[in-house]
Amino acid sequence: MRTELINDIIGWDTANWSKSLDYWNQKIDIKGKNYNCLEIGAEQGGLSLWLALNGNKVICTDFSYFDQPQILQKAKNLHRKYNCERKITYQPLSALEIPYDNYFDIILFKSVLGGIGSNKIKDVDQLVINQIYKALKPGGKLLFVENTAASLLHKYSRKWFIRWSSEWNYSKLKDIVKLFSSYKTLNYKTVGFLGTFGRNEKQRIFLGKIDAICDYLIPKSNRYIMIGVAEK
Ligand SMILES: C[S@@+](CC[C@H](N)C(=O)[O-])C[C@H]1O[C@@H](n2cnc3c(N)ncnc32)[C@H](O)[C@@H]1O
């Protein structure tokens, strides 16, 4: 895939986060299927772009679309750049209340759960994963990629160096796994350790390349990205 396209789909620490696309491609054939898809917390709609370019219909949604038209406009501009607006519709939507039942072949999100998880609502992550379950068709799949608590080094560096880390809930890998007990299957892998420490994208890409070589040396629960496929 071209670098510009990967940047437009993934946007941040692309060397590590783009591994989600490879993993999902291994687990599900999405090419030319015209699947009914929903992206949650899409912001600029990178994953909607990926699905639409592969010949699927997508509803691209975000909570911010309720009151931030400039974010919705960015998503529309991105999709127009690749001439795939015909495959995508837009909707403001909260993951806490998904108004569909047994409807989607594919639901997907990237880096969303942790933001909702900082909410004070009790068991809010579970609520989101249950809402997604309800909205999937039987046999439908959730594709997700999310930050994890990872190592102590990640924990302390987030505390000191990342402005918005107090607004993010970094769940432990084992706690994310538990959310999927009602699903038929959950397959996942973890990737990435150093990439997140880059101060700009150039540094992150460089560190992400080191991660690609060294990932196997890092314990699975210390890697900072979880990539998953859960089937209803
Ligand atoms: C870190 S951004 C990730 C955006 C995009 N998925 C990406 O990876 O570039 C988190 C997104 O979740 C959205 N969000 C926050 N609370 C939400 C909710 N309750 N339902 C749906 N989306 C929500 C935010 O508006 C924001 O766009």
Domain boundaries, the chain: 3-149+170-188+226-231
CA distance 181 to 15: 30
DSSP 3-state of 194: coil
* 47 alpha carbon – ligand 1 mean position (Å): 12
User: Helices marked H in the chain — which ranges?
Assistant: 3-9, 14-17, 19-27, 46-53, 69-81, 113-117, 124-135, 152-161, 173-178, 201-214
CA of 213 to the centre of ligand 1 (A): 30
How confident is residue 165, by pLDDT bands cut at 50, 70 and 90?
A: low
Tens of pLDDT, residue by residue over 67-90, are: 999 999 999 999 999 999 899 999
Q: Is the CB of 10 under 6 A from ligand 1?
A: no
Q: What is the pLDDT of residues 175-198, one digit of tens each?
A: 999 999 999 999 999 999 998 888
> Is the confidence at residue 160, as pLDDT, over 80?
no
Residue 62 CA to ligand 1 centre (angstroms): 6
Q: CB 161: neighbour CB atoms within 10 A?
A: 10
pLDDT at 122: 83
Pocket test for ligand 1, best of 73, 112, 143, 227 (most atoms within 8 A of CB): 112
Q: Is the pLDDT assigned to residue 119 strictly greater than 80?
A: no
- C-beta of residue 51 within 8 angstroms of C-beta of residue 58: yes
Q: What dotted CATH number matches 3-149+170-188+226-231? A: 3.40.50.150
